[in-house]
Structure 1
């Protein structure tokens, strides 16, 4: 199951795609304007984006450009009524991974989505390095400035989530869902407790601090001040 962000302002088209994808066991978050899509992308995690070009407030090209500035890896499928070669080239040059023209067959859309998701999983780097921290997803090891750091499974999952979404604020609800696979309970402080565990192991004794609390919002991993 993938978490798909559908950005489409045509109500009937959006409803059709959402229903069909949910029946195919995917989770779908729907947005109908470009400006709102940019805001939602900044505070949520998605596996793939379906993006219409003709959107109110910000068009799909502008939205795609913004998303690519924040995340170079997330698959983006442009879905639009514009079918000229110039339109396709512009969309792909902006950062889209694939391009489909309306009207379309849902089976083909689903096949394109599955291909993009497979490619994303295949292309995932085994080695993730930010600042002086290196995370190896092949053997689940962590090093900082050449020093090995031992983490529990949940601490490792938490650090990987933060690093793969660097410079993006992650809410406690998002962290709880991704790391623990549970709906967030406001009566528990498990996220804050584990974040303290992680900080003690990853940052204690180092001058540079990468894990930051954003008051009233959540946490962010960043290696450069002010970003």
Structure 2
């Protein structure tokens, strides 16, 4: 089953922007397509801030909607065509079977701990992990300090951003919650 949202900007009692915001709180990756009669800058900027896939202004032609949905399916559902692949960012793909990370189809050399860390997040999509939980999973709780986990994530982030030449890092830190996939 494919999940994506086509949202109206104006819905009685709850508008599409508020609905999309609530969805983003729970799921950062579900594609959102706005179908609206409103072309004002504020709504468009809010849709961009919510990482909407598209913003179609009525009246639009049905083929525009079909093309948008087709493009959305190709971009966001590549992992459904191969369930062993997980798209972590625009050009970063995790191979679940091989436990390997690829950037533009080139394998990235990672340490055993970096591989374990990525695998933990991929296998538990959208779940937050505290440094203690990560420590227990990777190091089997060998009395390491929490800053060891922070340093591991920091080194991985530095490595990924150097390779990708931008900010395609896929792990986020939410204060008082922990770490999870973006």
> Normalising by structure 1, what TM-score?
0.39
TM superposition score normalised by structure 2? 0.46
